[in-house]
Amino acid sequence: MDMVLQAIEFVFQWQNMAALVGGSVYGIIIGVLPGLGPSAGMALMIPIVLKWNPATALIFMGSLYKCSNYGGSLTAILVNTPGDASNAATILDGYPMCEQGRGNVAMGISATSAMVGGTIGMVVLICMAPWLADFALKFGPAEYFLTAILALSIIAAVVQGATLKGLAAAGLGLLLSTVGFDVITGHLRYTFGWMIIEDGIPLIQGLVGLFAVTQALVLAESASSISRLSKLSGSFWEGVIIYFKHPMAIIRASLIGLVIGVLPAVGQSSAGLLAWAEAKRESKHPETFGQGDPEGLLASETSTNACMPGDLVCTIALGIPGSVGAAIFLGIMIIFGVIPGPLVFAEKADVVYSLFVSLVVTSFVIFIFGATVAKHFAVFTLIRNEIIVPCILVVSLLGSFAIRNMMPDIMISLAFGIVGYLMLKGGFTPIPLLLGLVLGEMVETNYHRALMISGGSYSIFFQSTISKVLIFLTILSFAGPYMGPFWKTLTQGEK
């Protein structure tokens, strides 16, 4: 506890606060700019921060890392363009809220999510990081496979209402996830000699197409603006109030985000998606999800924000990075002589705890930024379509190009845009496709690995306690929709 108090005192020294606020603003800008993710943002700053005090430099990088994610969700909400893969789920309800003219409310929810989700995640991280890291190590290929299956089972909830079309989209997503270099066998699959997709379908470029380009096409059909009524209703603070009215949803979403963050082999992009799908399943009005339901937005945003501290657990406690961003963060820590690992909490406690405290403070800085600056951003949704559509197209395609400096990536985005448009017209939702694309590789490679380790015996999937719990949860998840009515007749019969 002493450690934490000292760290608080340290973080509030003027130069550290300056680093924190500077990192936050820079991070938000990086997040808003297309094609510049947290990785590039941090890499660019390395030569500059080298001369700083280690703790100050890490505070700067930490707030940059955290805020770039917030910047990405701003564009996701306002113009349907995710800044990074982790913002994919933000789009689902965030952008439709803007269409209803409730952009201000969405801004409020997103900023509050960053504050609350981030703080919950950090507090858990500060209290239990070493324990969580040990827990994460218990996950082998078999456990990861089962986790992915459990995650896929959530598709059942997502496709409710249009089951067949939903499953078709999910299947397409799974198929697309097999494109590229097969990690296990070393073969190239479905690349047709095209080097660009040897690493698989590039996720952000695909997302830009599926959401931003598709939306631009849809907008081009009508003469109004993103906000269909061409006016704004609701306020930032209304969003804040709505947020705190859903304590259970907040806790669930935070937990999902944390768990996914802690497991190093689960992609961060799935945190928001799974929390969103879970919230839909728990909701009394699942049909409004994806139509601009504030509950959907708060679930995905809270989860994404809780995911980032979770991601730091294994990075700091074991030196095993869970994402590209975390890997860079790890590299920067090493340069400053803070060698991550179980010992770091004792040896470099001052640096580590001031980093943690600064990340909590950053969560509040984001909220303040939201309440003062971002709340005005909703006016973008009032710009007339003939002006905003070309802007969205140019900026999002530029981003798609900038990620790898490759022209063909723009073609990928355009192709996904057209597919997305056709899907929309045909009554398909892109969400199951996204889940399939994000989870497919995790299912496949871990299934392979587990069987390679066991020598082909399927018993490896039932061995550990974690596996058994995961299998139980998966069965529950599939049977859930049928259990409800069954349970009702059972209890009513007793009366």
Partner 1 sequence: MSSKAANKGIVFLMLALGFMFSLPLADRVAEGVGYPDKIIKFIVTAGAGGGEDMEARLLSPFLEKYLGQRIIIENQPGAGGRIAFEKFQKAEPNGYSLVTYTFPKSIIMEFMDKTNYKTMDYVPVYSWSRSSQLLVVHSESWKTFDEFLKAAKSKTLSGGLSGRGSTTHLAALLALDELGIKVNWVPYEGSAGSVAALAGKHLDFTICLATSAVSLINAGKLRPLLLFSERRDPYMPDVPIAKDLGINMEIIPTLRGVEAPPKTPAAIIKILESAFDKATKDPGFIEVAKKRQLILQPTSSREFGRIIANAYPRIGKYQQMLKE
What CA–CA distance (Å, rounded) separates 29 from 72? 9
Q: Which of 35, 83, 261, 321 binds partner 1 (CB under 8 A)?
A: 321
Question: Which is nearest to 81 in space by CA: 457, 429, 444, 417?
Answer: 417
Q: Pick the closer one to partner 1 by CB: 186 or 485.
A: 186
Categorise residue 201: left if φ over 0, alpha if ψ from -120 to 50, beta otherwise.
beta
Shortest distance, position 154 Cβ to partner 1, whole Å? 24
Q: x-or-dash pattern for partner 1, window 130-149, by CB under 8 A? A: ------xxxxxx--------
Q: Pick the closer one to partner 1 by CB: 50 or 490.
A: 50
Q: Which of 12, 13, 15, 198 binds partner 1 (CB under 8 A)?
A: 198
Residue 196's SS3 state is helix
What CA–CA distance (Å, rounded) separates 453 from 297? 40
Q: Mention every residue, 6+ apart, whose C-beta is less than 8 A from residue 311.
A: 261, 262, 268, 322, 323, 325, 326
Q: Which of 5, 18, 183, 373 binds partner 1 (CB under 8 A)?
A: 183
Residue 180's SS3 state is strand
Q: Is 39 in the site for partner 1 (CB under 8 A)?
A: yes
The footprint of partner 1 on residues 45-84 (CB under 8 A) is: 46-47, 50
Q: Pick the closer one to partner 1 by CB: 293 or 441.
A: 441
What CA–CA distance (Å, rounded) separates 267 from 398? 25
Q: Pick the closer one to partner 1 by CB: 255 or 266.
A: 266
Three-point CA angle 378, 431, 225, nearest 5°: 30
Q: Which of 387, 452, 479, 490 binds partner 1 (CB under 8 A)?
A: 452
Q: Mention every residue, 6+ apart, whose C-beta is less than 8 A from residue 62.
A: 23, 329, 355, 358, 359, 362
Q: Going by DSSP bridges, is the β-strand pair 180-181/188-189 parallel, antiparallel, or unpaired? A: antiparallel
Residue pair 362/118 in contact by the 8 Å Cβ criterion: yes
Question: Which is nearest to 42 in space by CA: 261, 267, 326?
Answer: 326
Shortest distance, position 365 Cβ to partner 1, whole Å? 24
Q: Which of 29, 181, 235, 383 binds partner 1 (CB under 8 A)?
A: 181
Shortest distance, position 114 Cβ to partner 1, whole Å? 23
Shortest distance, position 45 Cβ to partner 1, whole Å? 10
Q: Is 456 in the site for partner 1 (CB under 8 A)?
A: no
Three-point CA angle 204, 209, 214, nearest 5°: 145
Quick one: how many helices (H) and strands (E) in the chain?
A: 22, 2
Shortest distance, position 113 Cβ to partner 1, whole Å? 26
Q: What is the DSSP string of 382-436?
A: GSBHHHHHHHHHHHHHHHHHHHHT-THHHHHHHHHHHHHHHHHHTT--SHHHHHH
Question: Which is nearest to 151 in space by CA: 275, 301, 300, 314?
Answer: 275
What CA–CA distance (Å, rounded) separates 182 from 200? 9
Q: Pick the closer one to partner 1 by CB: 277 or 316.
A: 316
Looking at 7-15, 153-161, 356-364, 402-410, which segment touches partner 1 (CB under 8 A)?
402-410
Q: Is 424 in the site for partner 1 (CB under 8 A)?
A: no
Shortest distance, position 65 Cβ to partner 1, whole Å? 11
Looking at 104-112, 177-185, 214-222, 372-380, which segment touches partner 1 (CB under 8 A)?
177-185
Q: Which of 62, 340, 420, 432 binds partner 1 (CB under 8 A)?
A: 340
Q: Is 455 in the site for partner 1 (CB under 8 A)?
A: yes
- Single-letter amino acid, residue 132: L
Q: Is 469 in the site for partner 1 (CB under 8 A)?
A: no
The footprint of partner 1 on residues 200-239 (CB under 8 A) is: none
Q: Is 462 in the site for partner 1 (CB under 8 A)?
A: no
Shortest distance, position 469 Cβ to partner 1, whole Å? 16
Q: Pick the closer one to partner 1 by CB: 142 or 217.
A: 142
Residue pair 209/412 in contact by the 8 Å Cβ criterion: yes
Residues of the shown chain interacting with partner 1 in the complex, contacts defined by CB under 8 A:
39-40, 42-44, 46-47, 50, 136-141, 181, 183-184, 186, 188, 195-196, 198-199, 264-265, 314, 318-322, 324-325, 327-328, 331, 334-337, 339-344, 404-406, 445, 449, 452-453, 455
